[in-house]
Structure 1
């Protein structure tokens, strides 16, 4: 074994390893950027206005698991939106209002079709009332 040749070869191998790490880091960053763009395109805009009908996520139902029980309650009417993201909701049958976190609500889309109220999500997916 020639020690002089091994001494010259070691920096070359270390440079190759650094170059390999650099390319792996670039590749991972590019992949993460593409996946972020892919997921961001699929996000829905959540622009709420006072007077909108919304559904409220009931997080306490996790304590009592049930397959067929809906985790969304409502509909509620949106009264106001705070700058910090909290929302004031009012139930249709009550005059009392309450504050909730804005992440726990989603739009409630409905239409009146003659005598019955039809959920617009059902029509969109083709499952009918």
Structure 2
């Protein structure tokens, strides 16, 4: 009976050591994964008052239709907070949105300006 008790005691300690080793391995895996993910993050989007932005509409996530446009706007940035939240103005109301759901909106540039280049036909 005494040998069985000692054997059981050793098995419990081995099990505890295996559990601690598994915990350490998972911690190191999480740290490596976080480093890998953080290395591939894009820079923080910075918005200024007066910028025009589009908002990602996540309501279409489950049944968007294949060609449905997921960005709404443009909205005008009323105020940008340091905590990544941005206050927007549009459709006669203001609301706050997470800055990760925004992208800058650029107005179309008028490309109809033509150069004054005169081409002369070649004389044969």
Shorter chain as denominator, the TM-score bin is 0.5 to 0.7
1:21-40 pair list within 5 angstroms: 21-40=19-38
Relative contact order, higher structure (CA 8 A, sep 6+): 2
Matches within 5 A, 1:1-129: 3-44=1-42, 45-62=44-61, 65-82=64-81, 85-90=85-90, 96-103=92-99, 105-108=101-104, 110=106, 115=111
More strand by share: 1
Distance of 2:25 and 2:98 partners within structure 1 = 37
Measured at CA, do residues 77 and 86 of structure 1 come closer, stay the same or move farther in structure 2, by a change above 3 Å? closer
The question of whether the paired residues in 2 share the 8 Å contact of 1:52 and 1:107 is answered with no
User: Which has a greater percent of helix?
Assistant: 1
SS at match of 2:77: strand
> Residues 19 and 104 of structure 1: is their aligned pair in 2 closer, same or farther, counting only changes over 3 Å?
closer
**Distance in structure 2 (CA, Å) of the matches to 1:18 and 1:105:** 45
In the alignment, is the contact (CA less than 8 A) between 2:80 and 2:87 conserved in 1? Answer: yes
Greater radius of gyration (CA): 2
Query: Aligned Cα RMSD in Å?
Result: 3.0
